[in-house]
Structure 1
Amino acid sequence: MSLYNAATLNNRYKEKLDSYKYVIELKNIAVYQKFNNQHLKNKSNERNICEAVILFLSHLQEETDPIYRDNGCKYLFYWLYTHVISNQHIIENTLKIYKELYNTYNQNHGRSDVLTNYINDMNEHTSDKLV
């Protein structure tokens, strides 16, 4: 994939996530009441972050292009680290948030074998290269 294509995809992912983050009417309210992560607790928009991630994962699962899905999973991690926790926590904490949100998605929206392999492969070494 060329740098231009990667930049274009990243812009699409960011627009998607940002639009989901600012949704006024939360659709998955029961999901957020169960979700609990110490690193998001002090965020005033914790529910909106959860909503954005859940909707974005649903969007990725519907995609048929594996490159788009894989890069979307990578971008989601980057977005959580840079836009949500604002580089204030170590990468391992972002990885925990990332996997907890994905597990919450799976528990409430059916298991996604399409995304599971990529997300399970994410670790401190691979995630460190993304930020």
Structure 2
Amino acid sequence: MSSRINTAYNVASKHNEYKTKLDFYTDFIDPSCMPGCEDFANQHINVSKYNAPKVCTIALRFLTHLKKENIPSYQEDGCLYLYYWLHTEAVNSKTSIENTLDLYKKLYEIYNTDNDGDNKFDKYMNKINKDTCDKLEKLIILYELFKKFERQYESETSVVNCNSECVTLFTSYVHECRTGYDNEFCKELRNFRERHNFFIQKVLHCDGEQYLLPPVENFDAIGMVIIPLTLILVTSFIFPLLYKFTPFGPWIRHKIGKKGNMWDNINEETHQLLDTDEIEKIKSKMRDYNIAYISS
């Protein structure tokens, strides 16, 4: 299996690492240990299995952990995963992405103002938006489904099943990738496809294209024809303008002129050589004629 491509959604494939850390914090919740959390309230947490001060404490302890780790890639992935935890665990996905982001923003403000956050994660937080959050949720669901499929094989009593439930979901995401503009999402789908198909072929030893995930790339035959034609048309339109209104014109004329002169010189020299050759032939004939005349 080839090495995975680095993407903005790396955390999707290793989200359990961050989930384990957050689960640890849920077992030891004391809002008084995190300044700003004891009296925290938010309307979006009414449907949460944790009350607002507890959600605040868990989130801020996790952000503090990220800061101490001081590993940029770990911090960036952690900031993105914290949104996912807030949306799926803190508010149980019963509110909109926008409302969860609003909750996250308020918690991050408390972290910076009351807990020496120093705005350290601003550059990561600014990348988190409705679209990235939506894509992250989809990718994590896909990886969770695949993990479930892997566990079936790990069971000693299970019969090898080559049909993965990931196929239908993955195919719908590929369509979304092809019609959208998030290249990072497409790259992460390629990572998932590589991992899934490797497991199917090399671990389960299943034969048949029907068990494999389709390519993410969209081989558009029409596009393959239109793009070259467009380039030809654009070139044919731009070239006369460059020739007439830019230094490119005199430059190419100079080059063509030099080549033209070179060919003229070659032709002239050839012509001269031919003339000389003809003259020599005439002289030779004249000598032969004179010799013949004298002999007679």
User: What TM-score comes out, normalization by structure 2 length?
Assistant: 0.40
Check if 1:17 corresponds to 2:22. yes
Say if 1:26 and 1:32 are closer, same or farther in 2 by CA, change over 3 A: closer
Question: 1 or 2 for the larger relative contact order (CA 8 Å, sep ≥6)?
Answer: 1
C-alpha offsets along residues 33-78 of structure 1, whole Å, 9 cap, x if unaligned?
3422110145462222211101000011112221111110111011
Identical columns (%): 37
1:45 maps to which residue?
50
Q: Distance in 2 between matches of 1:92 and 1:6?
A: 21
Check whether the contact 1:32–1:50 (CA below 8 A) recurs between aligned residues: yes
Greater than 4 Å deviation, 4+ residue runs: 5-8
The residue correspondences of 1:1-131 to structure 2 (distance < 5 A) are 2=4, 6=11, 9-28=14-33, 30-43=35-48, 45-46=50-51, 47-131=53-137
Q: Distance in 1 between matches of 2:78 and 2:93?
A: 19
> Unpaired segments of 5 or more residues in structure 1?
none
Say if 1:61 and 1:96 are closer, same or farther in 2 by CA, change over 3 A: same
- Note the C-alpha offset of 1:117: 1.3
C-alpha offsets along residues 87-129 of structure 1, whole Å, 9 cap, x if unaligned?
1111101111111111111111124343111112322222222
> Unpaired segments of 5 or more residues in structure 2?
138-296
Q: Return 34-43 or 49-58, whichever deviates more.
A: 34-43
